[in-house]
């Protein structure tokens, strides 16, 4: 049976694989569009099929991991390392597939612009491909990185368990509303620079129950663009997450969000975090 830590890590990997599969949809949606040039279509079909294969294989590896006996795994550390390396290589290959696809779409767009008579170029329907694809390339590395880090963590020896908490986190006030600064300890994890953002990532710990919260704060470039997101995390997730993968953790979880972008309203919600609107 997987331990609670392993269950958490496996759930997060599963969440990442699910979000990665969603990112394939915009590509599939345009494959039959006549605006796509045949060479580009071949590349996108190949990229999409390869990414499908990668996801299926990754799911199988994760499924095997879920049923594997941990002690047996520790006894076969070398074999486990090979597994982890395979998984990391496999899952990160999706980044390259997308980079290639975006480069091809961008080149196609440029050709179209060059062919158009001077002054008459209008951004074409190709944008319907380019924009979702570029959005996807911003999100995809955070999913592949987080899934890879979680998979590697699965093969590391379990860390000391936490001191008992003072109350059950499920009943605590921190589950019903965001805490004020006098009710928490804050630890700065780092800044996420993905896509030119400056997302501040902190771990807050509730004074009442000891629950850790992963918090992402993004100020944005415009007035009323500021927003924050926070989700409860277990110690094993806290030890695995990096500033660049914090949004991927949120994307796979339920979380509080608020800030001027949301008109100051605080909501408990789920789904990919809104960092682009």
Residues lying near Zn ion in the complex (CB under 5 A)? 172, 174, 206, 208-209, 211
Nearest to 244 by CA among 102, 140, 100: 140
Nearer to Zn ion, 232 or 259 (CB): 232
Quick one: 211 or 245, whose CB is closer to Zn ion? 211
Give the shortest CB-172-to-Zn ion separation in angstroms: 3
CA distance 92 to 112: 31
Smaller CB separation from Zn ion, 3 or 166: 166
The minimum distance between CB 203 and Zn ion, in angstroms, equals 14
Q: Which contiguous run of DSSP H or E holds residue 137?
A: helix 126-154
Cα angle 111, 113, 118; round to 5:
130
Q: Residue 232 Cβ, how far from Zn ion at the closest point, in Å?
A: 9
Which residues, listed in sequence order, are joined to residue 201 by a DSSP beta bridge? 190, 216
Give yes or no for a contact between 244 and 256, defined as CB atoms under 8 angstroms apart.
no
Q: Measured from the CB atom, is 169 or 220 closer to Zn ion?
A: 169
Euclidean distance between CA atoms 202 and 64, whole angstroms: 33
We find the least distance from the C-beta atom of residue 162 to Zn ion, in angstroms, to be 14
Say how far apart CA 21 and CA 176 lie, in whole Å: 32
Radius of gyration of the chain (CA): 21
**Closer residue to Zn ion in complex, CB, 103/173:** 173
Q: Beta strand 199-206 with 267-270: parallel, antiparallel or unpaired?
A: unpaired
Q: Are 199 and 218 a contacting pair, CB within 8 Å?
A: yes
Closer residue to Zn ion in complex, CB, 55/206: 206
- Min dist. Cβ of residue 180 to Zn ion (A): 12
Q: How far is the CB of 254 from Zn ion (least distance, A)?
A: 16
């Amino acid at each position: 049976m997987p331990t609670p830590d392993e269950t958490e890590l496996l759930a997060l990997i599963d969440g990442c694989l699910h979000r990665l599969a969603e990112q394939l949809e915009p590509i599939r949606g345009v494959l039959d569009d006549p605006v796509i040039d045949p060479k580009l279509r071949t590349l996108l079909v190949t990229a999409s099929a390869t990414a499908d294969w990668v996801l299926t294989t990754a799911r199988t590896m994760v499924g095997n991991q879920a049923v594997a006996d941990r002690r047996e795994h520790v006894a076969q550390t070398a074999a486990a390392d090979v597994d982890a390396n395979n998984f990391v290589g496999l899952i990160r290959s999706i980044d390259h597939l997308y980079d290639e696809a975006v480069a091809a779409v961008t080149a196609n767009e440029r050709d179209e612009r060059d062919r158009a008579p001077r002054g008459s170029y209008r951004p074409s329907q190709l944008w319907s491909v380019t924009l979702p694809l570029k959005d996807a390339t911003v999100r995809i590395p955070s999913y592949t990185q987080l899934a890879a880090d979680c998979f590697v963590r699965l093969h590391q020896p379990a860390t000391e368990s936490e001191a008992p908490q003072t109350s059950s986190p499920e009943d605590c006030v921190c589950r019903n509303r965001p805490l004020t600064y006098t009710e928490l300890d804050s630890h700065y994890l780092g800044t996420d620079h993905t896509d030119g953002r400056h997302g501040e990532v902190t771990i807050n710990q509730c004074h009442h129950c000891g629950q850790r919260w992963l918090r992402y704060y993004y100020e944005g470039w415009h007035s009323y663009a500021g927003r924050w997101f926070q989700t409860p995390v277990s110690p094993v997730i806290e030890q695995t997450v990096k500033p660049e993968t914090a949004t991927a953790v949120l994307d796979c979880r339920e979380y509080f969000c608020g800030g001027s972008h949301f008109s100051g309203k605080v909501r408990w919600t789920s789904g990919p975090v809104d960092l682009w609107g």
